[in-house]
Structure 1
């Protein structure tokens, strides 16, 4: 009997859920749409899309839905329509019995802006996203000899490693990529360039840079050098102005 009881309880729960879902679906079929409630997440960081953009997408796909059956808008279909927007990472749509369609939007998060050709962003998933005429994200800028493959597979992960370090995240403003894939970093403070080298296995060189900035350059002054080279083992090579 003890072995059978969990199975019986599971069956009862399944039947209950079916009854509840059937009841809710029936009720929703009788509900008239009163409007759409939209929530766009992480707008404190990025403002690529807003409520107006979402409403335009809904009207383009379904027309004016007010005072129509709330079920006239297919949730899955609307989610697919919304994520076609290159600035949207995910969309969740659901109905409520009070007559509202709820839309929750998560924007894509750029970590790098590449300024070659027409320019583009690379997001936190390592995917290319276009620049926006509505909003400019404050992220590290990269220039130079940059392919999209290199930007997505190597440069973006490197920038994300900089973001994980609060000091470097606040300090590095721009990356210049040379034809041999060596990286030159431009800081926000100090009139000099930092020669990093390749992005692979760069953690030790970055730690060396942090020590130099905190303990070395402060004694000489931020504008004493024109170049700081991290490519040599166990030392920082500086070129005076």
Structure 2
């Protein structure tokens, strides 16, 4: 009997769960939708979309769902509808016993803004993201001759590496591209950094870091008009 008892307990619990789930489903089938409660994440960092716009998207796709039985609303379909929006990375939709649909929105996060070819962002996943009329994200700006392939395959990884480093993230404001060679524009000082090709970028950045911390910071940020990193194992500066 002792050996059988655990199996009886498992079967009993399984039957109980079936009964509870059936009861809950039956209740949900009768519960009318009272409305949508929307939460948009990371609005302090980016504000490409707000709760009112999310409500409008759902209403355009499904009409007014208030008073519709919640079990008649396909939450997976609502998620797919929202995820098609160009600024939404993901959408989680679920309903509660009180009749409310809950929508949690995760926005896409740009890391780079391209001002060529009509303009666009490259997001944290290395994908093209259109500019928004509603909001402009404060990220590194790139200008010049930039193809989308170069932006995603070359420039995006470089900017991601800058963003991960507090020193570079605070310093570099703009990148100018000419024939796939880079010119960096810092936020402080009135000079430009001739970076050249992206090959050997780690060595160049460490060489530049040492120069900025131990050289230019002592002599003054406005002493030079150009800092050139294209030469092997040396930095060539042009005074004003």
Normalised TM-score (structure 1): 0.92
Partner of 1:38: 38
Distance in structure 2 (CA, Å) of the matches to 1:233 and 1:13: 72
Specify the SS of the correspondent of 1:116: coil
Partner of 1:122: 122
- Is the CA contact (8 Å cut-off) linking 1:184 and 1:197 kept in structure 2? yes
Unpaired stretches in structure 2, ≥5 consecutive residues: none
Specify the SS of the correspondent of 1:155: helix
Normalised TM-score (structure 2): 0.92
Partner of 2:135: 135
Partner of 2:60: 60
Distance in structure 2 (CA, Å) of the matches to 1:171 and 1:45: 19
- Is the CA contact (8 Å cut-off) linking 1:62 and 1:73 kept in structure 2? no
Structure 1 residues 219 and 85, CA gap change in structure 2 (3 angstroms):
same
Displacement, 1:10? Answer: 7.4
Structure 1 residues 28 and 218, CA gap change in structure 2 (3 angstroms):
same
Displacement, 1:228? Answer: 0.6
Whether 2:202 is the aligned partner of 1:203: answer yes
Partner of 1:215: 214
Specify the SS of the correspondent of 2:208: helix
Distance in structure 2 (CA, Å) of the matches to 1:177 and 1:8: 72
Distance in structure 1 (CA, Å) of the matches to 2:6 and 2:129: 50
Displacement, 1:25? Answer: 2.2
Partner of 1:192: 191
Displacement, 1:39? Answer: 0.4
Displacement, 1:37? Answer: 0.6
Structure 1 residues 17 and 233, CA gap change in structure 2 (3 angstroms):
farther
- Residue deviations 1:160-192, cap 9 Å, x none? 10000001001000001111x111100000111
Deviates more, 1:96-105 or 1:204-213: 204-213
Distance in structure 1 (CA, Å) of the matches to 2:6 and 2:236: 71
Partner of 1:172: 172
Structure 1 residues 92 and 9, CA gap change in structure 2 (3 angstroms):
farther
Deviates more, 1:201-210 or 1:142-151: 201-210
Partner of 1:150: 150
Partner of 2:82: 82
Distance in structure 2 (CA, Å) of the matches to 1:10 and 1:105: 38
Displacement, 1:13? Answer: 6.4
Unpaired stretches in structure 1, ≥5 consecutive residues: none
Displacement, 1:113? Answer: 0.3
Partner of 1:238: 237
Structure 1 residues 10 and 183, CA gap change in structure 2 (3 angstroms):
farther
Partner of 1:226: 225
Specify the SS of the correspondent of 2:27: helix
- Residue deviations 1:61-103, cap 9 Å, x none? 2211112212232100000100110000000000000110000
- Is the CA contact (8 Å cut-off) linking 1:171 and 1:188 kept in structure 2? yes
Distance in structure 2 (CA, Å) of the matches to 1:229 and 1:8: 79
